[in-house]
Structure 1
Amino acid sequence: MASIRARYGKLNIDFRYLNMRCRETTALEDTPQNRKKLEKVIERMEAEILLGIFDYAKYFPKSTRLKDIKETENKVNAISSKTPMFSEYCDIWFQEKEIEWRNSYKGKIRTVIRKYLIPYFGTIPIINVKKSDILGFRTSLAKVTYGISQECLSPSRINQIMIVLRMILDSAAERYDFESCYKNIKNLKQTKVEVHPFSLEQVQLILQTVRDDFKPYYTIRFFTGMRTSEIDGLRWENVNLQRREIYVREALVNGQLGGTKTYGSNRTIQMSDRVFQAFLQQKSLNHGKSEFVFCNRSGDPLDYRLVNRRIWHPLLRFLRFKTRPAYQTRHTAATLWLSAGENPEWIARQLGHSTTEMLFRVYSRYVPNITRQDGSAFEAMLNKLNQEGVAS
């Protein structure tokens, strides 16, 4: 039974909730009228506690005990529902799923769980996560900032985090036989992938200016479209100079050699003559000191961060080119091939795409800017047809 006490002229409520003694101060002065008013409030509280619908924060929104009360409520709910806390289920889910993932992907999942999901959902029983919690979490992500510039998380990054949350909740719903609350929640709209390829003239200038020991490296990047992780993890055993083929089977991520980005990324790249010559030049520079095609002085694979900081970005500044990631060499290869009229299916295979869909969605809009022939081929066909009609 709750009791009313007075302290420093204000009325306090002394009651028990979840087997804990709770004492909360009100803003009411100690008067007979306020005591009667508070007695009615206590009646409602005790009824709600018995019914299991008591909301502590509703009655005492400024209480210093709200965090402890919430954690205790979650523990009690978890015991009654016989389902684990969100944080506990994350461990179960991760251990069961990690065998399906590559090491690089495991690291990404761990980061999402540790940095974003556990701090927000960790102490909530998995069965008690509500749709309102999910939407509130997504809203909170939009306010997260990072880096020196304090930029907010992009819609793309928020969607990546939400995908992990959805997988966890859907898995728990199936295991414990309850309906997943992650329904009708759509991904945030993402801006189109921005690519800023170099023109052929700019590529030539870069390759003429870059340090001699990095000419082969950037020549191969520009004319094969290999990803950074793929070229940095390329070993001589996957280079067939006799057949002029590159076998993309591995990728170097965070200093660890593993599988490629996707299974579809495993592919055979055909060498152009310029790429072939670059490999010959690199072989003379390497002198067999490492299993990796491109390595540092000690024979270890390149650290792309160091290469970007010491070679790539200083080179662009020197040439007064717009700053852009070295990954744009891949985009450049795609747009140059398209502008040259190469078969789109062949380009997709070179890049490791399973279909040409992404090729046209991301790169095709740059082709007219390179060829300067928007619609001219179609016009030429019509003119030819008209001329043939007149002649006949």
Structure 2
Amino acid sequence: MGEVTKASILAARTKMAKRKGRGASGLMAPKTINSHMTILRMVMTEAAERFDFDSPYKNIKPLKQQKVHIEPFSLAEVDRICKYVREDYRIYYQLRFYTGMRTGEIDGLKWEHVDFERQEILVRETLINGETEYTKTDGSQREIPMFGPVYDALKTQYEATGKLSKFVFCNREGKPLDHNNVTKRVWYPLLELLKLQKRRPYQTRHTAATLLLASGENPEWVARVLGHSSTEMLFKVYSRYIPNVTRMDGSAFERLIRNRVTTKEEVCHEVE
């Protein structure tokens, strides 16, 4: 630990930024790099406290992250996708669009966490590298109501995989889906067939969020359904897609002014 310097930490971060990744540039995204560096910072902080020395990680600011760019599908596009997708993946994508579950959450969903009696999906685990583990955060532990066609869809899915696997969605061997394989073989070819803009499967989660909010649901409730700790993320990321709900289009202010002007004119007319 004593050999680690601030310069060596910055050099490691610079080297990491040149690795291949899933960022827009084809390299590791700043968010991913910051996540890795956070672990190092925590290790250095703990070591500094135990052995009484100044952590070299002091005053190293995280890399700036670009604003989250979302490209949700319209309800009409959702209908088209669910209509033309391969039959064996129709229910899978219905759940993605109507629940807003993360990829790891839906791929790791087990039948023991599907409560048909209360019509709820219990998010308790996430799938990482083929193995299920605790969700991303404590806030990700939640119950999702079976919206719209989800209840009937899961009943149908149970007939297909309920006795084959502990996982709701699985391959022929009963093992969980490989999301990279599904994306390349099912998702992208479908978007190309429908002549829709190429978008990552995670946009299904953004789509669910925008549809829930645009329908007039309470933002705090929507945040809980999506597994967010607060509504801050909702208003920060989705406000431009739901102007009437978030009052970010100026319409509320315009109505106030119009009412004010109308009232003033009525008063003047009465005085005359």
Superposed displacement of residue 263, structure 1: 1.4
| SS across alignment from 1:127 | coil
Aligned to 2:73: 198
Partner Cα separation in structure 1 for residue 27 and residue 176 of structure 2: 33
Output aligned runs, 1:110-125, within 5 Å. Answer: none
Aligned to 1:379: 254
Q: Deviation per CA, 1:227-273, whole angstroms, max 9, x where unpaired?
A: 11111111222112222111111112111122111111110111223
| SS across alignment from 2:70 | coil
Aligned to 2:88: 213
| SS across alignment from 1:220 | helix
Aligned residues: 266
Identity %: 52
Aligned to 2:200: 325
| SS across alignment from 1:273 | coil
Pick the aligned partner of 1:260 from 126, 130, 135. Answer: 135
Structure 1, gaps ≥5 residues long: 1-125
CA RMSD of aligned residues (A): 2.7
Aligned to 1:283: 158
| SS across alignment from 1:246 | strand
Partner Cα separation in structure 2 for residue 229 and residue 147 of structure 1: 18
Pick the aligned partner of 1:145 from 19, 25, 29. Answer: 19
Q: Deviation per CA, 1:44-76, whole angstroms, max 9, x where unpaired?
A: xxxxxxxxxxxxxxxxxxxxxxxxxxxxxxxxx
Partner Cα separation in structure 1 for residue 162 and residue 100 of structure 2: 25
Aligned to 2:31: 156
Superposed displacement of residue 301, structure 1: 1.9
Aligned to 1:167: 42
Corresponding letter in the other structure for 1:168? V
- Contact 1:308–1:326 under 8 Å retained in 2: yes
Corresponding letter in the other structure for 1:365? R
Partner Cα separation in structure 2 for residue 387 and residue 275 of structure 1: 48
Corresponding letter in the other structure for 2:114? V
Superposed displacement of residue 129, structure 1: 2.5
Partner Cα separation in structure 2 for residue 155 and residue 166 of structure 1: 16
Higher strand share: 1
- Contact 1:197–1:331 under 8 Å retained in 2: yes
More RCO (CA 8 Å, sep 6+): 2
Q: When the two structures are superposed, what TM-score results if normalisation uses the length of structure 2? A: 0.87
Partner Cα separation in structure 2 for residue 276 and residue 385 of structure 1: 48
Corresponding letter in the other structure for 2:189? P
Partner Cα separation in structure 2 for residue 369 and residue 207 of structure 1: 27
Pick the aligned partner of 1:367 from 225, 242, 247. Answer: 242
- Contact 1:229–1:253 under 8 Å retained in 2: yes
Q: Report the CA distance shift for 1:315/1:164 in structure 2 as closer, same or farther (over 3 A).
A: same
Q: Deviation per CA, 1:80-139, whole angstroms, max 9, x where unpaired?
A: xxxxxxxxxxxxxxxxxxxxxxxxxxxxxxxxxxxxxxxxxxxxxx21333233333333
Aligned to 1:251: 126
Q: Which moved more, 1:225-234 or 1:280-289?
A: 280-289
Partner Cα separation in structure 2 for residue 165 and residue 264 of structure 1: 24
Q: Report the CA distance shift for 1:361/1:243 in structure 2 as closer, same or farther (over 3 A).
A: same
